Amino acid sequence: MDSIAVNGGAQLYGEIPVSGAKNSAIKLMAASILTAEPVRLTNMPRLADTKFLGQLLRQFGMTVTESDGPDGQQTLFDARELTSTFAPYDLVRQMRASFNVLGPLLARTGHAKVSLPGGCTIGARPVDLHIDALSKLGAAIELEEGYVSATAPKGLKGAEIEFPFVSVGATEHTLMAAVLAQGTTVLRRAAREPEIGDLVRCLISMGAKIEGVDTDTLTITGVTSLTGTDWAVIPDRIEMGSYACAAAMAGGEVRLTKARPELIDALTVKMVEAGVEVTPTEDGVIIKRDRARRLKAVDVATEVYPGFATDLQAQFMALMTTADGVSTIHENIFENRFMHAPELARLGADISVHAGEAKVTGVEWLRGAPVMATDLRASVSLVIAGLAAEGETTIGRVYHLDRGFERLEEKLGACGAEIRRIHGPPVEGPADEH
């Protein structure tokens, strides 16, 4: 399997364009099932995850065509004829979010059989909320041999659904099913992530009737059919935040373009508090840091949006490893998301973990060593740490990284990072996609 080698010490100067958001693109791809008309998504990232989901959509008889258009990378989805509504385990297991095809298939055709997604390396993420919501919309659900069989031969019916806690996946999944349900559906305690707002706006452009965008209460009035659309995927706020941390870790000055800095305010506020210069621009943000001055340790706690994103926790921990003082990091979203801490310790970081809290005592420098990625965001945190470590850091199992970062070595290398990929035999990664 591939690995990435980083020779630390080089400061970063230049420009990094931010790709389209993975966590938005994969849900918009699932939404294309809902219409018999073509859906063209622009600003599409080319990632392992979008490739996996594209294979699954083809399993249903859809055509999926990638190309470079006047608006950059684009993909055309055509679900005119759905020849199957079966999602096998071999495809779904490669990415948990694939389970979210169940609702659109059910809403469009009245039946679907989708594999349960399997385990996750960063903690339990059960699909109970998804299944319960579809049941409330009138679906008959059967669980057998690891598969969910759902039927609604007379169509789904609107319902009032209050989630017991905020769930991004359950909100998106229920929303996609409800747009074709008869009557009105109200979703309370809905997640408010920007990617959900992107999905809502795209569905509205397809003819869906949805009120309450960007709030925790969504009201959906079902329609009988949706049209096709052209839609630009929003910029990836997690990629943007990751490169912001990378620039701050290495020192120098990096301009992030094609970005929306307001989507990572919770991160940049903490970065400024730590001593990083953050300057918004017309199409992004400039990250600047004088490496001669140590950063100051600051505390963070992950929260649902608009709070500090759990998907940026590992990257910020890497940044704090050489800060002056002790940083306390509380992980409130996933119960097992500090697996990168032992790997950062291999580089010389001083980190102690107890339950959902990590204390990071800043050291003066890190030293390169072989390390192993455990999930997507952990893998990029090791790259970030490696940028400032003395000597060479080699990160193994970077198939995790390829799930969510497009041309990472090229983007960092263009700014002066000494980074290269070491090719190995291909490998299929686990189901974690965050």
CB 165 within 8 A of CB 137: no
d(CA 353, CA 360): 9
Helix axes 237-250, 265-274, angle to 10 degrees: 10
pTM of the entire structure?
Answer: 0.94
pLDDT tens track for 12-45: 999 999 999 999 999 999 999 999 999 999 999 9
pLDDT at 427: 53
pLDDT at 125: 54
- Domains in the chain (CATH in brackets) are 3-19+235-422 (3.65.10.10), 22-232 (3.65.10.10)
**Residue positions forming the annotated binding site for phosphoenolpyruvate:** 22-23
Residue 415 designated active-site: no
**Residue positions forming the annotated binding site for UDP-N-acetyl-alpha-D-glucosamine:** 96, 125-129, 311, 333
d(CA 107, CA 34): 7
pLDDT at 402: 92
- Residue 218: φ, ψ to 5°: -110, 130
Burial class (CB in 10 A: 0-12, 13-18, 19+), 364: exposed
**Residue positions forming the annotated binding site:** 22-23, 96, 125-129, 311, 333
pLDDT at 31: 98
pLDDT at 429: 46
pLDDT at 121: 42
- Report residues of the chain scoring pLDDT below 70: 118-125, 426-434
**Averaged confidence pLDDT in the chain:** 94
pLDDT at 434: 54
d(CA 300, CA 160): 35
From start to end of 43-183, where are the E strands?
63-69, 72-78, 86-87, 111-115, 140-144, 147-151, 160-162
pLDDT at 123: 45
pLDDT tens track for 133-182: 999 999 999 999 999 999 999 999 999 999 999 999 999 999 999 999 99
